[in-house]
Structure 1
Amino acid sequence: MNVRRCQNRDSRMTNARWMQRGFTPLKRYLPRAVWQSVRALATGIVTPLRFSLATGHFRSSLSMVAKASNGSPLPWYTYPAIDFLAARNFDGKTILEFGGGQSTLWWSAHAKSVLTIEQDAEWTALLKDKIGSNVTLHHVPIDKKNLSFEGVRALIPAHQKFDVIVVDGHLRREATALAFNHLADDGAIIHDNSEGYEFFEETQNRECKRIDFFGFCPGVSTRSCTSLVYRDDCFLLKPDIPIPVIR
């Protein structure tokens, strides 16, 4: 781990020195005000390009599917939330998803098992051909008129607990209320697009804590928020988890 950190640190320093060397001739032959303006303009242009390429945002935009720069699936959460989760170990962990998609594929690759409940029939059919053997996928039409969640409740054993519960489908307030009944003591609920869907109204009077991750999502041009909700303890926030390397 220490060797890897040193290698990544050296790589970042090399990149920084390369960029600095690129401006050395400008510093020699141009007035300070001029080369600083050129550097500021270059930074303003290069930075979003580097972000788009390094995160897979550009690739996600073209394909209209959330992907990393190498083409692997990403959850459609904000990038700060993705970075936070990517640094955690989900070996042996169980996941419940209200609403499936690219996140289902991502969780399948990282966790022990995934139970996904999806409302959209076409989306469910697409997922069936891609999911791994550790994913259980159910298509459950939601009665949005009567706000009925009974079909979903019937699929989850009454006493089953999950380490992570993702709320990213229809009837999100109702899904959040159900999630608290099935959340492990040190587990977490992930709210996608938590700036809406009455997430706050459902959680504000509960004994829980919240961390908000604001930022852009893969292939999306507007900012959003992905929130982490937990009780007193959460396995995702242990102090012995290494700080992720910045690439």
Structure 2
Amino acid sequence: MLRKIYIILVHTIRVLAKKVGLLSLLESRRDRQSLLYVRSLFSIYDVDDMVQLDLPWWTFAAAAYVENFLRSKNGEANVFEYGPGASTVWLAKRARQVAFVEHDGDFAAVLRRLTEGVYNVSGVLIPPEINPRQALVAPSGRVGYENCDFENYVAAIRDAGGPFDMIVIDGRARNACLKEAVKHVKPNGIILFDNSRRERYRLAIEQVGFSPLRFPGLAPALPYLEETTILTRGGT
């Protein structure tokens, strides 16, 4: 309830901030991260605005690391996302190919609109199986998905054109996605695991056998600190 109230309040203030020119002023100073962060606070749960700001929804420090990594690939990186969003458009500007899997039909429609005409993005919609007869193979720890199996969602990467220079884990059943992702990332590639500060992800990250580079700090649109972790085989 408090989150909904906060979002409504911020979006209401954004209308006023736009009228008085505050948003334009902040956007004109995007070279200063502090001002860009303040501008992004008006973008909470607004993927269109995040796309307009050209921001992925990871911590600023992690995004800077990824920017440098992709630049080192000279625009030829092959990327896969579990859980697309504003990051999909951001990545498409910096990579050769971006593939994704999404579980929610409504958001998949939003992604189709956002990526219309973007030649190097492709994605599939794979909803979870609800109340399967067998035990859950790829469960999600998110409230409301207790009886959902994301086995097919996790497996989507197998037919997505790998191996990949970068794999993003920012959707559902993240622990299962991580276990699958390590099979499809290139030897010198990276895996980005967002919201890694959450306790339910800690053990999976520690046990996967990759070296974690943790990037705690500010993230666009969020009024609190977050953490994004980059996983490498140790030499990236």
Please give the TM-score of this superposition, normalised by the length of structure 2. 0.70
**1:217 alignment partner in structure 2:** 219
The structure number with the bigger radius of gyration is 1
Structure 1 residues 110-155: Cα deviation after superposition (integer angstroms, max 9, x where no partner): 0000011111211111111121110011111123525341244155
Matched residue of 2:235: which SS?
Answer: coil
What amino acid is the match of 1:233? G
Match of 1:86 among 45, 67, 85: 67
Matched residue of 1:127: which SS?
Answer: helix
Match of 1:196 among 174, 195, 198: 198
Q: CA deviation at 1:160?
A: 2.9
Matched residue of 1:115: which SS?
Answer: strand
Equivalent residue pairs, number:
183
Establish whether residue 100 from structure 1 lines up as the match of residue 81 from structure 2: no
**1:62 alignment partner in structure 2:** 42
8 Å CA contact 1:162–1:187 kept in 2: the answer is yes
Structure 1 residues 34-80: Cα deviation after superposition (integer angstroms, max 9, x where no partner): xxxxxxxxxxxxxxxx6442xx2233222334699994321100111
**2:13 alignment partner in structure 1:** none
Match of 1:75 among 38, 51, 56: 56
Alignment map for 1:34-73 (pairs within 5 Å): 51-53=33-35, 56-64=36-44, 65=46, 71-73=52-54
Match of 2:178 among 176, 179, 188: 176
Matched residue of 1:110: which SS?
Answer: coil
Match of 2:125 among 124, 139, 151: 139
**Structure 2 unaligned blocks of 5 or more:** 1-31, 130-144
**1:149 alignment partner in structure 2:** 151
Q: CA deviation at 1:225?
A: 0.4
Q: CA deviation at 1:226?
A: 0.3
Matched residue of 1:219: which SS?
Answer: coil
Aligned-residue CA RMSD (Å): 2.5
More divergent stretch after superposition (64-73 vs 195-204):
64-73
Identity in percent:
26
For residues 127 and 107 of structure 2, the distance between their equivalents in structure 1, rounded to whole angstroms, comes to: 12
Establish whether residue 205 from structure 1 lines up as the match of residue 207 from structure 2: yes
Matched residue of 2:159: which SS?
Answer: coil
Q: Go from structure 1 to structure 2 and tell me whether the alpha carbon gap of 1:174 and 1:130 turns closer, same or farther (over 3 Å shift).
A: same
What amino acid is the match of 1:208? F
**1:113 alignment partner in structure 2:** 97
8 Å CA contact 1:67–1:218 kept in 2: the answer is no
Matched residue of 1:189: which SS?
Answer: strand
**2:163 alignment partner in structure 1:** 161
What amino acid is the match of 1:97? E
For residues 106 and 158 of structure 1, the distance between their equivalents in structure 2, rounded to whole angstroms, comes to: 19
For residues 129 and 231 of structure 1, the distance between their equivalents in structure 2, rounded to whole angstroms, comes to: 36
For residues 81 and 152 of structure 1, the distance between their equivalents in structure 2, rounded to whole angstroms, comes to: 23
For residues 162 and 100 of structure 1, the distance between their equivalents in structure 2, rounded to whole angstroms, comes to: 16
